[in-house]
């Protein structure tokens, strides 16, 4: 965005893609409750130049209506379309997270001395509190919980993070800890007054789950937090006048929910995971494992993610996950999952072209997460030219170095589509209107 384009809107993008000049851009954020962790409850909101809405409820509108006042599905007061910079702020609003997750006032915590570890702790900690839904009465926000250690003299940097001490000194036991007010995006609730007794789930096909059955124990197994996705079947509060919207990376940092909708009939997904890890040698599957669990809980086809592949094959530039049996998992996509890893790039400046000069070797000899100077920290919003070029060239190399893997997967997908031309077709006769907000209804 430039100063002269501050009035640009999402709808303006249509003129760039109407004739398939460019790929269709899809953006995400989460609808969350004001005082409940995103790991426990979140509804995915989808944005495109043509529509905005939540597939969980089957509710969509044109982008120019997002933010207007609705009642029972009808616009009662229309406002100007939100500028693109407002939406960009929502899509990247990591600091709308609950401060309780930063401070760990509700749970024990894994404390770390670096900002990289701080973000990881922020992502993993959740708030256990009574849900006040989306109350509009800001005076009724729950009181903060005292954290005596926040006022103690700093003794050991490895046992207490500077972020915790700073926030405790600034706001003490303020209700700021327990709510997103003033930090999360807030828009008029476009579902105000609707009846959610029955609605489409994310997967509107009654018999979509054709892949192997999922054991209850498998869904209960924690990936990042014991209470992750504990409340995702709860509905949006249709009595609340406004809803909170935040960065979707706060639940898991891969936007699979948008492209897993069966109406899109996606055969092949190429994903790039740029999430922070504790070290360069740490397994790179946490985000995709969360996505897998979310998909299974929503009865959406997803290939089995075997974390043991890391033990068998070690760190790789990309991993391929396929359905085990395409005959029984006919709607399941193949995933090519690229991760941040500097392996062959250290020795080759292009696939098959070795580095020769010392300058070339020095340029490629860097760690991503193990560098004590943390040049690639998630908190770095401005990168020096060299750091930016290193990351850019690394991912370009990793992609080109695995181009044969991509081509092979594309050929297999094309062949499969030829054999199954009606894959993922959706008709009204396939859709079953049903209650979907209780776990018991999924069995």
pLDDT tens string 373-407: 888 887 777 788 999 999 999 999 999 999 999 99
Does residue 122 lie in a domain region? yes
Strands 318-321 and 334-339: antiparallel
Q: Average pLDDT, whole number, for the chain?
A: 78
**Residues 387 and 243 both lie in one domain:** no
CA distances (Å), origin 89, targets 11, 29, 72, 83: 17, 10, 28, 10
The reply to whether 67 falls in a domain is yes
> Could you tell me if residue 303 is inside a domain?
no
CATH assignment of the domain containing 134: 3.40.1090.10
- Residues 6 or more apart from 388 whose CB is under 8 A from it? none
Instruction: Please give the structure tokens belonging to residue 11.
Output: 């709808």
- Highest average pLDDT, of 31-35, 38-42, 144-148, 404-408, comes from 404-408
384 and 246 belong to one structural domain: no
Q: Residue 437: is its pLDDT beyond 50? A: no
* Residues 171 and 39 grouped into a single domain: yes
- Give the contacts of 385 (CB within 8 A, at least 6 positions apart): none
Q: What distance in Å separates the CA atoms of residue 136 and residue 147, rounded to the nearest whole number? A: 27
Domain total in the chain: 2
> In this predicted structure, what is the pLDDT of residue 425?
56
Residues 357 and 99: their CA atoms lie apart, in Å, by 48
Confidence bin at 423 (pLDDT 50/70/90): low
By the 8 A CB rule, do 241 and 189 touch? yes
List of residues 6+ apart from 103 with CB closer than 8 A: 147, 150, 164, 167, 168, 177
The pairing of strands 353-354 and 318-321 is: unpaired
**Does 30 share its domain with 164?**
yes
29 and 146 both lie in a single domain: yes
* Residue 424 included in any domain: no
**Confidence (pLDDT) at 166:** 55
Q: Are 3 and 108 in the same domain? A: yes
Q: What are phi and psi of 38, to 5 degrees?
A: -65, -25
Alpha carbon of 402 to those of 224, 287, 336, 368, 408: distances in Å?
29, 21, 10, 20, 10
* Whether residue 245 sits in one domain with residue 360: no
Q: Which residues pair with 271 in a beta bridge?
A: 337
Name the residue with higher pLDDT: 414 or 138.
414
Residue 408 domain-assigned (yes or no): no
Tokens 């109350």 locate to 135
Does any domain span residue 59?
Answer: yes
| pLDDT bracket for residue 330 (50, 70, 90) | confident
Q: Are residues 139 and 14 in the same domain?
A: yes
The pLDDT of 325-340, averaged and rounded, is 87
Question: pLDDT tens digit string along 133-154?
Answer: 444 444 444 444 445 454 444 4
Question: Which run of H or E residues covers position 337?
Answer: strand 334-339
Give the pLDDT score at 419.
Answer: 82
Beta strands in 247-402, from DSSP E residues, in sequence order = 268-273, 318-321, 334-339, 348-350, 353-354
For residue 47, the enclosing domain spans 1-196+235-251
């Amino acid at each position: 965005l430039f100063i002269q384009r501050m009035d640009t809107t999402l709808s303006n993008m249509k003129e760039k893609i109407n004739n398939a000049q460019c790929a269709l851009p899809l953006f995400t954020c989460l609808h969350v409750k004001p005082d409940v962790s995103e790991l426990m409850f979140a509804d995915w909101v989808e944005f495109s130049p043509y529509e905005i809405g939540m597939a969980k409820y089957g509710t969509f509108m044109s982008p120019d209506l997002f933010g207007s006042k609705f009642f029972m599905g009808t616009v009662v007061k229309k406002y100007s379309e939100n500028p693109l910079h407002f939406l960009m702020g929502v899509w990247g609003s990591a600091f709308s997270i609950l401060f309780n997750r930063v401070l760990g006032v509700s749970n024990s915590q894994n404390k770390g001395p670096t900002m990289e570890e701080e973000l990881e702790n922020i992502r993993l900690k959740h708030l256990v509190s009574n849900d006040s839904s989306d109350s509009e009465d800001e005076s009724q926000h729950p009181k903060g919980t005292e954290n005596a250690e926040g006022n103690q003299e700093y003794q050991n940097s490895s046992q207490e993070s500077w972020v915790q001490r700073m926030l405790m000194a600034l706001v003490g036991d303020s209700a700021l800890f327990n709510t997103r007010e003033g930090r999360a995006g807030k828009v008029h609730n476009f579902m105000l007054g609707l009846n959610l007794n029955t609605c489409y789930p994310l997967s509107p096909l009654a018999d979509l789950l054709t892949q192997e059955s999922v054991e209850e124990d498998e869904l209960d197994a924690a990936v990042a937090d014991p209470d992750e996705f504990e409340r995702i079947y709860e509905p949006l509060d249709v009595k609340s006048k406004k809803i909170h919207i935040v960065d979707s990376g706060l639940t898991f940092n891969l936007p699979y929910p948008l492209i897993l909708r069966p109406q899109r009939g996606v055969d092949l997904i190429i994903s790039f995971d740029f999430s922070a890890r504790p070290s360069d040698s740490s397994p790179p599957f946490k985000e995709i494992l969360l996505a897998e669990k979310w998909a299974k809980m929503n009865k959406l086809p997803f290939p089995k993610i075997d974390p043991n592949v890391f033990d068998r094959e070690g760190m790789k530039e990309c991993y391929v996950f396929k359905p085990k049996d395409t005959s029984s998992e006919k709607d399941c996509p193949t995933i090519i999952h690229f991760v941040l890893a500097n392996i062959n790039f250290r020795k080759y400046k292009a696939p098959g072209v070795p580095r020769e000069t010392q300058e070339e070797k020095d340029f490629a000899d860097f760690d991503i997460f193990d560098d004590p100077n943390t040049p690639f920290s998630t908190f770095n919003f401005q990168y020096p030219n060299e750091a930016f070029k290193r990351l850019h060239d690394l991912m370009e190399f990793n992609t080109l170095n695995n181009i044969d893997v991509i081509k092979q997967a594309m050929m297999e997908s094309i062949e499969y589509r030829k054999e199954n031309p009606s894959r993922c077709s959706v008709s009204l006769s396939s859709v079953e209107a049903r209650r979907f907000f209780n776990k018991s209804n999924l069995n």
